[in-house]
Amino acid sequence: MAVDQSDTSIDSATFSQSNHHSVAAKVSGEIPGCKTRWITSYKWTSGAGVITPVDMFNASPGQADPYLSVFLRQPIPGTSFLPGKIEALVDVRNLMSQGYVPMLGKDGRTLYLVQSARAIRGGLAFNF
């Protein structure tokens, strides 16, 4: 689904179904010494105003998220009282805030439609 960006008012006639293409690249690696593992991906979509994923089921090899994404996984040195491994995780999606489509609502306020919102997530993984 795409939005005609020449008309910024929200109206059902503004939305249309159209075909688009996407190209993705994904690289990964490990930083020697500190053993930090990283994955970086970028998925470009043809056309402006695309608000639904081009690959709905993300079935392509590598499963890249739309726009620039970075994932980091850092092992944390273990302690004697906890068996297993602990890793810190950081996941940043749509790092450059691409794909935001501003629309003007009937009340005059701006509504942003987006295929993939910018997000930062973090956590700990316990592996036993």
- Residue 107's Cβ-side half-sphere holds a number of Cα atoms within 13 Å equal to 3
32-69, pLDDT tens digit by residue? Answer: 999 999 999 998 888 777 777 666 666 555 677 788 99
> From edge to edge, which strands make up the β-sheet containing 119-127?
22-31, 36-45, 67-76, 85-93, 119-127
76-87, pLDDT tens digit by residue? Answer: 987 667 677 889
Predicted local distance difference test score (pLDDT) of residue 61: 58
User: What is the model's pTM?
Assistant: 0.75
6-37, pLDDT tens digit by residue? Answer: 555 555 556 777 777 788 889 999 999 999 99
Q: At 12, is the secondary structure helix, strand, or coil?
A: helix
Question: What is d(CA 30, CA 20) in angstroms, rounded to the nearest whole number?
Answer: 34
Closest CA to 36 of 84, 64, 76: 76
